[in-house]
Every structure is written in structure tokens, then in C-alpha cells.
Amino acid sequence: MARIVMKFGGTSMAGTERIRRVAGIVKRQQEAGHEVAVVVSAMAGETDRLVNFCREANALYDPAEYDVVVASGEQVTSGLLALTLQAMGCKARSWLGWQLPIKTDDAHAKARIEDFDSEALLASMAAGEIAVIPGFQGVSPDNRITTLGRGGSDTSAVAVAAAVKADRCDIYTDVDGVYTTDPRIVAKARKLPLVTYEEMLELASVGSKVLQTRSVSLAMKENVRVQVLSSFIDENAPAADTLPGTMIVSDEELEGSDMERQLITGIAADKNEAKVTLTRVPDRPGAVAAIFAPLAESNINVDMIIQNVAKDKGETDVTFTVPQADLVRAQSLLEERKEAIGYYRMIADSNVAKISVVGVGMRSHAGVASTMFKTLADRGINIIAISTSEIKVSVLIDTDETELAVRVLHTAYGLDAAA
Ligand code: ASP
Ligand code: MG
């Protein structure tokens, strides 16, 4: 017997028919002899709809009241799933965020989980009851409803799994696992049986939207084994216990498996970055600090930075990237400080994409970056900026070349599935 937390996303919960399918999957896990808790999302599109109501009611909405409204989507699906399970003869009950309780801080609309008392939940599971928990919601220190940020049900599921010391947290979604790259771009993309937490974090942060990034950090910190798998399966599909999806595991567990692995695990593309260049910035101590300090204070995340060596005039160009959503704000902050920084012109460009190759194999092998540069050069793709971490190399290129770049790199690193 194992203890398993199952999480179902919005597309899996969209309507009575689909909820019945979910209930069937849950029931089969219980019949296999496991203790189960289920975490659910709101029906697909529902959270967007609720967010819109808040905007219509009051453009400058109070985040505490926003949370009251948007948390309701998950309350509906958790009750409906409990009802459906009961109709199938299972013992089931819902546990709202404040009933467990899932205690968070008071950062409404983006709260962090602080404490989770699992006693009541464990007792109910031990009594053979299926616990159904609405994702996304918690309760603040002053007893108000909070939500964990968009996509937060993944984080709820991992937090529940950590609290009840689950053997596995199965995240059921509309894809059947994590792929070497987006299968819509590269038909020969392969499903990965195993990915490490760090690889998943890098892939999630550069645009592969399978899991909320925060859920992966939490899983890494709490050592929760997470499986991503599809809920769109029939009764003859392989059981979740045979790990048909992608398992997200620690480095040690990966090393312990005898899996043949490529040097590179995956390739991600992110079109949500924008590039800013400031020309003729004076080459003196403090000039760069004057550019980035106001951005940091306004919580604008700068990713790639290039500063050229100064020419004889004692001036240099500085180029960097920010999220596209923050571009206008960044421009106006820098415009205001034009005199103080002392640059000549500001040039912004949103037609850029960041392509990243990710893999823990990079730690012990040289040449990953040079393969990337050579492969892109052979196709005449120009590299605007470069950044690296221990397990990732990213380049900034023209958006129009995104698909081509991903395809040629996928082949160059030997990731293509056999035809
Ligand atoms: N329903 C919430 C959202 O759409 C939370 C989630 O589904 O993870 O962001
Ligand atoms: Mg999601």
C-alpha cells in the first residue's frame, strides 16, 4: 500500500462528464489498495472568468476580496468531485483551505504556504475516506481566504504530499508528460521518463508551462516525488503505479537509475522577453548600478546583460533583457533617469526569443555551448546575447528564427525520436 496525492488540472475538471472520468481514475487508485488525497483545480476558464468579474466590479480591486472571488472556482470542483465519488460508492469528503487548514502569509493573490497541519487529513485517509482538497487556496494569519498565484494548485498538491509524507504526487494534466521540447514545434520530440528537480525548474522558468515553478521548488525542498501524466486515458491505459508519465526526481535517484541519457535533457523557447539597449553609457564606476538599481526596486527581473568593453571615448553600450510585460515600465524608469545615467539613446525590441538548452549532464561535459553556437551559425542564426548557469545555456535570437533554432538544436544534441 502507498499513500498517493493526485492532482487534476482545469481541463480534467471541466464539466460533469470529465469529473466522472476523474472520479473513475481516483477510485481505481483506491481499489489498488492506496490511501488517496485529491487536489483539484477550478474548471478550465473559470478562474479567468472570475478575475474578469473582479476587474469589472472595481478596476483597483482589493486583493483580499479578489481572493474571496477567485478561490470559489476550486470550492465548486472539490464539492462536485466528492459528490461524484460518493455516487460511485466511495467514501469521500471535501476539505476547504480554511478547514485543514492550509496556513499562508497575507500576500493576497500570491500567498505562500507557511504551515500545514496534516493530522485531520491523515485520520480521514486512514479511515478509508478519499480527501478532496481545492487547490490554489489557503487562509491568512487573520483568517481571510488567500490564493497562491495563478497555476497555484500544483503547489497545493505538492504541499499536501509533503505534509502527509506521500509516496508520490501524481499531477494529472492534458499532456502525458514532460517532453524534450514542445512537440508542436518538433514532431520528433520525445517524452522524458525522468527529469531532475533542477532541470524541471530551468525548463519551467524558460517557458515550458507544465507545472507552476513554485511547486517544483517546493517538491525539491521537501523531496516529494512528482509524476506528470495525462488524465485523458481509457480504462486499458497503464496504471499510474507503472509510472507512464514523467517522474521528477532528485539527482541521486536519477544517478541510481540505469537510464541511458543524452547530455542535454530538453530545449525550451521563451518569446516573452524584450531587449533594451542603452547606447554610449559613460564608462565609470556606478554607471551600471544606476541603470539596474531602479529596475530592481520596481521588481523588474533583468535576465541577460551584456556590456561591451569601452572604446577610446570612455563610453560603452549596455544591452539587457526584461519580461515583455515589464518593458513599458522599464522604459519609463530609464527615461526619467536619462540625465543621471548619462546614456545617449534607448532602443527597445520585443522581437526576440530566448532559446535554452538544459541538462545536468553539462556539469561533467565540456562543449555544450560551442555545439549550440556552431549549430546556430551553420543556419545563419545570429546570437544577440548569451547567458549560462551550471546546467543551462541560453541565447537570445530573433523571434522569427525560434522554430528553426529549436529544431536544429534538437537534432544536434541527438534528441530526435527514431523515425
Ligand atoms: N485555478 C487556478 C488558475 O487557473 C489555479 C490552478 O488551476 O492551478 O490559476
Ligand atoms: Mg496548471
Q: Residue 210: its pLDDT value, please?
A: 87
Q: Whose CA is nearest to atom 6 of ligand 1?
A: 151
Regarding the beta carbon of 12 and ligand 1, being less than 6 Å apart is answered no
Please state, in angstroms and as integers, the Cα–Cα distance from residue 209 to each residue in 158, 175, 229, 268, following that order.
16, 11, 14, 10
CA of 26 to the centre of ligand 2 (A): 19
The neighbour count for residue 73, using CB atoms within 10 Å, is 28
Q: Is 286 known to sit in a ligand binding site? A: no
Q: Is the dihedral of CA 240, 246, 250, 253 positive or negative?
A: positive
For 47-60, the pLDDT digits (tens) are 999 999 999 999 88
What are the φ/ψ torsions at residue 310 (nearest 5 degrees)? Answer: -65, 140
Distance (Å, whole) CA 386 – CA 401: 16
Q: Which residues, other chains included, contact 16 with Cβ-Cβ below 8 Å and sequence gap of 6+?
A: 80, 84
Residue 107 · residue 64 · CB < 8 Å: no
Predicted pLDDT of residue 207: 64
Sign of the CA dihedral running 333, 335, 338, 341: positive
179 is in an annotated binding site: yes
Nearest CA to ligand 1 atom 7: 41
> What one-character-per-residue DSSP string does 165-218 give?
T-SEEEEEESSSS-BSS-TTT-TT--B-SEEEHHHHHHHHHTT-TTS-HHHHHH
Q: Contact, 179 vs 266, CB < 8 A?
A: yes
Query: 133: CA distance to ligand 1 center in Å?
Result: 13
- At residue 332, the 3 state secondary structure works out as helix
CA angle 125, 126, 131 (to 5 degrees): 5
- The rounded Cα 32 to chain-centroid distance in angstroms is 30
Distance separating alpha carbons of residues 205 and 248, to the nearest angstrom? 15
**Of 5, 26, 4, 16, whose CA–CA distance to 233 is shortest?**
26
pLDDT of residue 255: 85
Over its length of 419 residues, how does the chain's per-residue pLDDT go in tens digits? 899 999 999 999 999 999 999 999 999 999 999 999 999 999 999 999 999 999 999 988 899 999 999 999 999 999 999 999 999 999 999 999 999 999 999 999 999 999 998 999 999 999 999 999 999 999 999 999 999 999 999 999 999 999 999 999 999 998 899 999 998 899 999 999 999 999 999 987 766 678 999 999 999 999 999 999 999 887 788 889 999 999 999 998 888 887 777 889 999 999 999 999 999 999 989 999 999 999 999 989 999 999 887 776 789 999 999 999 999 999 999 999 999 999 999 999 999 999 999 999 999 888 999 999 999 999 999 999 999 999 999 999 999 999 999 999 999 999 999 97
For the Cβ of 136 lying below 6 angstroms from any atom of ligand 1, the answer is yes
Q: What is the pLDDT of residue 208?
A: 65
Residue 307 has phi, psi (to 5 degrees) of -125, 125
Pick from 255, 270, 269: nearest CA to 361: 255
For residue 9, give the ligand 1 atom closest to its CA.
Answer: 7
Q: Is 89 annotated as a binding residue?
A: no
Domains and CATH numbers, the chain: 3-256 (3.40.1160.10), 266-413 (3.30.2130.10)
Cis bond leading into 238, ω under 30°? no
66 annotated as belonging to a binding site for a ligand: no
| Whole-number pLDDT of residue 379 | 98
Grid cell for residue 225: 516525488
DSSP string, 300-311: -----EEEPPP-
Provide the β-strand partners of residue 4: 36, 168
Q: Is the CB of 138 under 6 A from ligand 1?
A: no
Neighbours of 317 (CB within 10 A): 18
Q: Is any ligand 1 atom within 6 A of the Cβ of residue 10? A: yes
The DSSP bridge partners found for residue 332 are none
Q: Which atom of ligand 1 is nearest to the CA of 148?
A: 5
Mutate to test the pocket of ligand 1, among 47, 137, 146 (most ligand atoms within 8 A of CB): 47
144-182 pLDDT, tens per residue? Answer: 999 999 999 999 999 999 999 999 999 999 889 999 999
Beta bridge mates, 246: 228
In angstroms, the CA 103 to CA 124 distance is 19
Q: Is 15 annotated as a binding residue?
A: no
What is the Cα–Cα distance from 111 to 207, expressed in whole angstroms? 22
Closest Cα partner for 377 from 409, 403, 350, 351?
409
Q: What is the pLDDT of residue 360?
A: 93
